[in-house]
Every structure is written in C-alpha cells, then in structure tokens.
Amino acid sequence: MEEKQLFKLVGAGNTESQEKIEKPTLSFTQDAWRRLKKNKLATISLWFLAILLVFSIGSNFFVNAKDANNFNGDEVKTYRNLPPKISDSLPFWNGSIVFSGNTEPNDVYSDQSVPKGDKFILGTDNLGRSLAKRVIVGIRISLLIAIVATLIDLIIGVTYGLVSGFLGGKIDLFMQRVIEVISSIPNLVIVTMLGLLLGNGVMSIIISIAIVGWTSMARQVRNLTLSYREREFVLASRALGENKFKIAFKHVLPNISGIIIVQIMMTVPSAIMYEAVLSAINLGVKPPTASLGSLITDASENLQYYPYQVVIPALALVFISLAFILLGDGLRDAFDPKSNKEN
C-alpha cells in the first residue's frame, strides 16, 4: 500500500525557482528613496515643502510685494487691526475680538464701518494691510534669503572642504586656521558691519549668513574627505594617474553627497531663524518689506490686544523650519545604509 505523502518539497529539482531573485537589485539612490518613503513624517515634510515652494513661486503672479506693502492713509482707521473673518458663524474667523476687560466679543468690522463685502481671511495689521498677503510675501522673502544663503554655503563650503581634506598637510593646516579665525568673529559684528556698508536689506542678510555659515559645511566635508581619500577606489585612481582635483570632485564628492544633502536641509531652517533674529534687533529687511521675522517683530507691540498678528507668521516660521528639520532627519536615515534593518 502506497504511503500517503505528508510533505511536499517545493522547488526541489526546479532550477528556475532556485535561481529566481526574490528582491530586485536597487541602486543606492533607489534604496535611499525607498527608506525615505517609509518615514511618514519625512514624506509629509517633503510634500509640504514641495507644495510650499511651488506656491511661493506661483504667488508672484497674484500677490506682489507692492500690493502687500502699500497702504492708503485715508483708509487706515477703517481697516487697521481687523481680526480674521470668513463667515459670521465660524469661530475665530467671525471678525470679532474679546478685548481686555470685556466679557462679550466686539464685532470690529461693524465698529470700524468696514464695507460688507470686505473680509480678510487672516486679518489686517496696524496700517490696514492684508496680513494674508504680507505672510505670503514674508514666506517668499524668508525662503529666498535661506535658500540663496544655503546655496552659497554649499558652493564655498564643499569646494573648500574637499580641497582642504584631499590635499592635507600644511595646506590643510592653513585652511583650517582660516576657518577658526572666521568662526571666532561674532555673527552680529559681521552683520552690523555689512549693514553699515550695504544697508539693511535682503542682500546684506544673505551675504552675512553666507560669510559665516559655510564654515560648518567646510569642516564636515573636510572630515569626510579625510576618511575617503585612503579608500581603495581613490588609491586606484591615483595609480592610474588621475588629477587630484578630478579624483576629489569625480570620485569622493558623489560618495559624500548624501551627507551634504542632509547638511543642507539643516542649514535652511537655521538661516530662516537667523533672519528672524536679525529682524528682531532691527538688522533685518528694510521696511515696508515683509519677512516672517519682520512681521513677528512689528506685531509684537500689539501682542496683548491682537495676538493673531504674531501667532500667524510665527506658526508659518515654526512649520517651515520643522518641515526642513524632519526632512533632514529622514534623509540622514535614508542615506545611512546602517540604518536599514531590513534584509
């Protein structure tokens, strides 16, 4: 009697099943993108920043700086310090404020005889200018300052760090002393000097951030270059007679690009916060130009009576900075192969 087979061998004697690749081969970039997508906070931050950048560029066509900054002196009393309003039935967006000492909310739009059709989704400032328009322009200015300053940091810092780390010796020693001298000068001193030379404005802020900010990038790139210049592929390139600078930029730079991208994501929010601090000490952009820092500083005098004028740009500043930090944290894990716990 034929015995009943309890177990069935799967794949035995089947060459195709034995040679089948269950997991497709991925490049380093594809594998990093796969890991990044699994980080939900980083993915949300990436989409948020992408939408924000597209919106900031597109907003130039329907919200220009002139409309956001100008005001009509004859209408200031009517439109000044209006609270956010969309509908009378929506809490917070109903155009009313409970002033200090009162128990009932005041309908500011009625009290100041604002025409019925006029509503401001984020309210107005002390001069009757739309806060929504000024926040949009402020986001544009703050992002412009941060991104341009970061790009300058990237170009100077990466080039300086690669040359310093790859050449080594006395050249590296001298270049590191230069970084130490620059880092020893307080940022505020540099900003003040540039403010006297160039005047307060976007360009002087960008230059001041770039002059000091590139040193941290240069140090990190230099340290990474020192660890990579003795690798086998670098030694092989040297043996083939390739130029030192060509090896540094062609072979070493691509291998440290992941760390550089992470550093960029961390530099942008630092630049945004730095601009806000400069605005707080009256070294920021020139009035009436709006940036997130200048909006917070200008509205801080009326914080007790009109807190929304401070809260709205402050929230924008916090969310943008937080998004860059979360994305940078996600990219750091994605570009680090050791963080991959999967097989």
Q: Which pLDDT tens digit goes with each residue over 256-279? A: 877 888 888 888 888 888 888 887
The answer on 147 and 289 residing in a single domain is yes
| Residues 6 or more apart in contact with residue 316 via CB below 8 angstroms | 135, 138, 139, 292
The answer on 228 and 92 residing in a single domain is no
| Separation of first and last alpha carbons in the chain | 46
Q: Are 278 and 189 in contact (CB under 8 A)?
A: no
Owning domain of residue 112: 76-129
The answer on 257 and 178 residing in a single domain is yes
Paired tokens of 4: 């009943």
21 inside domain: no
The answer on 267 and 137 residing in a single domain is yes
Please indicate, yes or no, whether the overall pTM of this predicted structure exceeds 0.75.
yes
| Domain count across the chain | 2
174 inside domain: yes
206 inside domain: yes
How do residues 163-177 score in pLDDT, each as one tens digit? Answer: 888 888 888 899 989
The answer on 142 and 99 residing in a single domain is no
The answer on 135 and 121 residing in a single domain is no
The answer on 280 and 141 residing in a single domain is yes
At 47 the pLDDT is: 93
At 319 the pLDDT is: 92
The answer on 162 and 213 residing in a single domain is yes
**Is the predicted pLDDT of residue 17 greater than 70, yes or no?**
no
How do residues 214-245 score in pLDDT, each as one tens digit? Answer: 888 888 888 888 888 777 777 787 777 777 77
90 inside domain: yes
The answer on 175 and 81 residing in a single domain is no
87, 109, 129 — which closes off a domain? 129
309 inside domain: yes
CATH number, residue 171: 1.10.3720.10
129, 152, 174 — which closes off a domain? 129
Position 342 confidence tier, pLDDT thresholds 50, 70, 90:
very low
108, 129, 150 — which closes off a domain? 129
27 inside domain: no
State the DSSP H helix or E strand holding residue 96, giving kind and residue range, or none if neither. Answer: strand 96-97
Report which of residues 13 and 223 the model is more confident about. 223
At 27 the pLDDT is: 65
16 inside domain: no
Report which of residues 339 and 151 the model is more confident about. 151
At 51 the pLDDT is: 93
Q: Please work out, in degrees rounded to the nearest 5, the angle formed at the alpha carbon of residue 38 by the alpha carbons of 330 and 34.
A: 90
Position 206 confidence tier, pLDDT thresholds 50, 70, 90:
confident
**Is the predicted pLDDT of residue 125 greater than 80, yes or no?**
yes
At 21 the pLDDT is: 53
The answer on 265 and 118 residing in a single domain is no
Q: What are phi and psi of 293, to 5 degrees?
A: -65, -45
How do residues 46-86 score in pLDDT, each as one tens digit? Answer: 999 999 999 988 888 888 878 888 888 888 888 888 888 88
195 inside domain: yes
At 315 the pLDDT is: 92
Paired tokens of 305: 């009576």
Position 205 confidence tier, pLDDT thresholds 50, 70, 90:
confident
The answer on 226 and 306 residing in a single domain is yes
3-state secondary structure of 97: strand
Q: Which of 195, 193, 215 is nearest to 204 (CA)?
A: 195
The answer on 319 and 192 residing in a single domain is yes
